[in-house]
Amino acid sequence: MEIVVCIKPVPDAETRLRANPAGTALDGEGVKWALAGYDESAVEQALLLKEANPGSRVRAVSFGPAPRTEEVLRAALALGADGATFLEHPAEVVPDPLLAARAVAAHLGRATWDLVLVGKQAGDDEAGLFGGALAELVDAPSFGGVMALTYDASARRFTFRRSVEGGAEAAEVPGRAVLALQQAWNDPRTAKLPNILKSRRATIDKVAWATTAGALGPLGTPTTQSVGFRLPAPRSGAKMIDYRTPEEAAEKLVRLLQEEAKVFP
């Protein structure tokens, strides 16, 4: 089975967010980049499927600016991916997830694959649009919120559960599908040092932006534009409730929620 896993770099969770000088987007200066959380799950899931289905191959694909995009691809190689494709984009901030989906679709259209795994959303823009858009563009079925994914090789079918409001659905889909992962493994594998060293020397297939832009034509223009990036005013700190007994604390809190915060249901 040929598995493609689409990943992207996002600012590390501890990053102190600030706007760029124009105030239109995150300032990338000095940011430490890491593999997006759900994408890490997608890589883990791809490797688990590969291990359960001998003869399978995992290829990591990422669209974005150098050098951070290549770095997350190397991270995927160090974790166990067999190959990596870097779809270069010139801008510091990738303008919209639909453009990313088009770029990856233009590339995947020429490749053979059975499954594309993506994270259900990335921790920076939290759009959650990429997987569905990609699936539509390559004319494949898609599901989001996917957990507990298994492959039935004789029937060429994937079965899984998907998280929906209030519970989970059981579902199945035949091969050549795009699945967006919800599952969070709290203990995904970590790369071993020799593999990290090996990944530094591995070849990454690179597709120049000019090639992608040529394939996309007018669809290579972004459809949205980030025009503002605001940080909330820091909360002024909690109003601490004085009390002598737990009952008094409870009464005071409920009153504040009713009368001051006006959120009491």
Partner 1 sequence: MTARVLVIGEIRDGHLLASSLEAVGAARACAGPSDRLEGLLVGPAAAAASPAFAAAGLASVACVADAALERPTPWAWSRAIVAAATAAGAELVILAGTAAGRDVAGRVAARWEAAAVTGVTAIGRAPGGRLRLSRPVFGGRATQEVEVAAPRAVLAVRPHAFPAPAPTASAAPATELPGGTGPEGDGRILGFEHVEGGAGPDLGDAAVVVSGGRGVRAADNFSLIEELARSLGAAVGASRAVTDAGWRPVSYQVGQTGKSVTPQLYVAVGISGAIQHLVGMVSSRVIVAINSDAQAPIFRVADYGIVGDLFAIVPALTREVRRVRGIA
69 CB-near residues (< 8 Å, 6+ apart): 8, 9, 62, 63, 86, 88, 89
Residue 234 is classified by DSSP as P
Which residues in the 211-230 window bind partner 1 by CB under 8 A?
Answer: 219, 221-230
The token duo for 76 is 């995927």
- For partner 1, the binding residue among 52, 66, 91, 249 (CB under 8 A) is 249
Q: Which is nearer to partner 1, 84 or 138 (CB)?
A: 138
CB contact burial 89-113 (16+ within 10 A = b; e otherwise):
beeebbbbbbbbbbbbbbbbeeeeb
Q: Which is nearer to partner 1, 126 or 205 (CB)?
A: 126
Which residues in the 98-137 window bind partner 1 by CB under 8 A?
Answer: 98, 101-102, 121, 123-137
Q: Which is nearer to partner 1, 91 or 261 (CB)?
A: 261
Q: Cα–Cα distance between 164 and 16 in angstroms, integer?
A: 32
The token duo for 30 is 């000095």
The token duo for 263 is 């959120």
Counting contacts by CB under 8 A, is residue 164 touching partner 1? yes
Which residues in the 23-62 window bind partner 1 by CB under 8 A?
Answer: 25-26, 37
Q: Which is nearer to partner 1, 57 or 229 (CB)?
A: 229
One-letter identity of residue 137: L
Q: Which is nearer to partner 1, 83 or 123 (CB)?
A: 123
One-letter identity of residue 232: P
Q: Which stretch binds partner 1 (CB under 8 A): 8-16, 48-56, 65-73, 84-92?
A: 8-16
